[in-house]
Amino acid sequence: MSTTDCALQIRDLEVRYGPNPVLNGITADVTRGERVAILGPSGAGKTTLFRAINGFVPYSSGNIRVNGVEVGSTRGRALRLLRSRIGVVSQRHDLIENLSVHQNVMAGALGRWSSWRALRFLCWPLPHELEDARAALGRVDLAHKLRSRTSSLSGGEHQRVAIARALVQQPFLLLADEPIASLDPELSHQILALLCGLAQESHVTLLCSVHQPELAERHFDRIIELRDGKIVADRKPDSVAVSAESNR
Amino acid sequence: MTAGLVSLFTLLHQFFPPEFSARYLKAALLPLGQTIEMAAGGMFIAVIAGFVTGIWAGARLPGSRLVYAALAAIRSFPDLTLAILCVVVVGIGPGAGMLALAIFYSAAIGKIFADLFRAADRHAMDALRATGASRLSVALFGMVPLRSKDILSYGCYDFECAIRASVIVGAVGAGGIGTELIGTINALDYRRATTLILLLIALIAAVDYLARIVKNRPATLWLILPLAGWAFWNDRPTMVAISHSVSTFLGMLPPRLPEEALARLPKILLETVEIAVGGTFFAALGALPLGLCAARNLAPPLVSIPVRRVLEGFRAVPELVWGLVLVSVIGVGPRAGIIALALHGMGTLGRLYAESFENIRSAPVQAMSATGARPLALAAFAYVPLAAAPLAVHTLFLLEWNFRTATVLGVIGAGGIGQALFNAQQLFFYRQMAAYIAVTWLLVMGMEAASSRLRTNLGLMERYA
């Protein structure tokens, strides 16, 4: 696979908290536009992997390249620029409750905006900025919530606003860390379908960690299974499992 | 204009360099020790009484409303007003100061503990109550552990306040470094005044350091409490002339104001409000950027550590001492009062703001910084909105506090009702003094009621908890 096609390249990655490796010898290439499920029990290292890709966790050996940029050796402004193009959706509770929905959504643009523009937007949003927010919310079917209070959103809406915020980043890589952990099964399907649909639409690479194998089989192009910090399987979804799941 | 600036500069110049001769430092040690003793002794009583009354009012034991009302009522007397009263009743000396501190801080700690306990996590408390436990045991097993971090945090903060207050009460003859400071300023011995202020800053820094140890290792409290108890015993007021005290006290009743004083009252009150509101406004204005710079999770250590020291410096100098300096520099009047409150309040609020920023949940901040936001944008989009409720609560508390302080700043000529009160005391017009005390008390009480109503209406207390 040529490097230009490769959105994410991980080689022999090792991350340690203290003496114990949390991630050990992870190697994977992810093509542009690919939708990958990271499957594994709690403590398998899924969140750590995402945080390492984002440059929040240093790694002790190996390397991670996002769009050809080595994450571990990137600092300051360059790291901020890199992060501004990596969308993150995590478990609930990462929106700012005291900001309204449109402010939370446009926070996705903070990586591109100057500090003064950010302050001005808080006090005095311009019509075209609100239009951008409305458009992003429209893609997650929440355009009518533009001016709502964030604290009034339901769990599913909360998650969709977080997705809209990630979309405003115009990401080439989308990291979803257990986006459905606190949602019921029906909503889980909806959110995953939405994420995968949006990723396909905008040709964005998607990495999404989930607990439930059947959901991974159903929605994604590829499944990487993690256990105790190691990759135990890297495969295409099992068509038998999918049909068994849909026949139930 | 230039002439004004020049005279301002020459006046400020007189405060430097501070006098650091071994002889003077040695002489300053005695009042310094007296101040520590006074604060420690007062706080010894206050912590015990405050904890008991706080649990009582917080756990809604029988009569808790009455206890809470009494705490609020006592707390509404400014500490200096109490000290004036104590000096009149038990006589000049550190005993009077300690008594005033003990009374004031018992109420202050009791009330804040009661508020904290009442705001404890409802679900956890209900779970305990469901076991059939009595209210008192629910309080001891639920509220205290649930809020222990805040209790320690406020307790340490109050001790710092008490150290500053023990300086202030010295100003009206209760001994310690305050009496010494007033003496040097009255004697135009400004360089020694600077020395004393610097000593005071060092003392507050030491207390801050001690507070951090106590917060990390609460067990050290058992070492400090006996020492404080000893300090209390050392300074206990000597009630040699109880009959005199009683007759003096009775001489204040009934409070009465002469005609012309009554006519001037609205103007004095308005001036007091002006000082409190203006001081708080400018304090908050300065504290927001400083608080962000002092937050250890936002600013790099290279910024946060020096800013913390600057805030400590502003905070270490009591409003009254700022007032003394400012009155001698820019002259008598409410302007000195406003700037004094703003400077000290900036130190207090800046630190509380910084703590609020440090206490916010990190998940949303991390999500925000994952978008590649710049530090200033991160502050505006994540830190300030996430900390909005505690920021508002702290600012409202400062406003309440400043109302109290604005009523006493007049003692040193910075305008407001305090001036009238102090004049009446100096002239032995005790009935007039009592009237001013009553008016002060009503003003502070009214403000507190308004502020607590505002907090409830905005749902701030609930969200803060």
* Tens of pLDDT, residue by residue, chain B (465 residues): 566 667 667 777 777 788 778 888 888 888 888 888 888 888 888 888 988 898 888 777 788 889 888 888 888 787 788 888 887 777 777 778 888 888 988 998 888 888 877 777 666 666 666 666 667 777 777 777 767 777 777 777 777 778 777 877 777 777 788 888 888 888 878 888 888 888 887 887 788 788 778 777 777 777 777 888 887 777 776 655 667 777 777 877 788 888 888 888 888 889 999 999 999 999 999 999 999 999 888 888 999 999 998 998 888 788 888 888 888 778 788 888 999 999 999 999 999 999 889 888 888 888 888 888 888 888 888 888 888 888 888 898 899 889 888 888 888 777 788 888 888 877 878 888 888 888 888 888 888 788 878 877 776 554 443
Structure confidence at residue A114 (pLDDT): 85
Pick among B357, B360, B371 to test the A interface (most A CBs inside 10 A): B371
Please indicate whether, in this complex, the C-beta atoms of B370 and A56 are within 8 angstroms of each other. Answer: yes
Nearest CB neighbour to A96, from listed B375, B386, B389:
B386
Cα of A4 to nearest chain B Cα, Å = 23
ipTM surpasses cut 0.90: no
Structure confidence at residue A244 (pLDDT): 43
Please indicate whether, in this complex, the C-beta atoms of B385 and A98 are within 8 angstroms of each other. Answer: yes
* Helix pair angle (A185-201, A155-168), 10° resolution: 10
Chain A nearest-CA residue for B381? A107
Chain A nearest-CA residue for B371? A84
Chain B nearest-CA residue for A78? B372
> Between A227 and B246, whose confidence is greater?
A227
Residue B28 tokens read as 């300053």
**Which of these, B365, B366, B368, lies nearest to B356 by C-alpha position?**
B365
Please indicate whether, in this complex, the C-beta atoms of B364 and A93 are within 8 angstroms of each other. Answer: yes
Structure confidence at residue B294 (pLDDT): 92
Q: Is B287 within 8 Å of B345 (Cβ atoms)? A: yes
Query: pLDDT tens digit string along A104-115?
Result: 999 888 888 888
Compute the distance between CA of residue B183 and CA of residue A113 in angstroms, rounded to an integer. Answer: 57
Structural domains of chain B, with CATH:
15-237 (1.10.3720.10), 259-465 (1.10.3720.10)
Structure confidence at residue B255 (pLDDT): 80
Query: pLDDT tens digit string along A184-215?
Result: 888 888 889 999 999 998 889 999 999 888 88
Whether the predicted pLDDT of A2 surpasses 60: no
Residue B218 is classified by DSSP as G
Residue B249: in which H helix or E strand, if any?
Answer: helix B242-251
Query: pLDDT tens digit string along A39-86?
Result: 988 888 888 999 899 888 888 889 999 988 898 888 888 888 888 889
Domain residue limits, chain A? 3-247
Structure confidence at residue B464 (pLDDT): 41
pLDDT-derived band at A29 (thresholds 50, 70, 90) equals very high
Query: pLDDT tens digit string along A119-161?
Result: 889 888 999 999 999 999 998 889 999 888 888 888 889 888 9
Instruction: Give residue for tokens 């009934």.
Output: B254
* Fold of the domain spanning A3-247: Rossmann fold (3.40.50)
Structure confidence at residue B37 (pLDDT): 84
The 3 state secondary structure assigned to chain A is: CCHHHEEEEEEEEEEEECCEEEEEEEEEEEECCCEEEEECCCCCCHHHHHHHHCCCCCCCEEEEEECCEECCCCCHHHHHHHHHCEEEECCCCCCCCCCEHHHHHHHHHCCCCCHHHHHHHHHCCCHHHHHHHHHHHHHCCCHHHCCCEHHHCCHHHHHHHHHHHHHHCCCCEEEEECCCCCCCHHHHHHHHHHHHHHHHHCCCEEEEEECCHHHHHHHCCEEEEEECCEEEEEECCCHHHHHHHHHC
- Cβ atoms within 10 Å, residue A159: 30
Structure confidence at residue B3 (pLDDT): 62
Close Cβ partners of B108 (under 8 Å, ≥ 6 residues apart) = B46, B50, B75, B158, B161
Within an 8 Å CB–CB cutoff, is residue B23 touching chain A? Answer: no
B-chain residues within 8 Å CB-CB of A111? 371-373
Q: What type of residue is B366?
A: Q
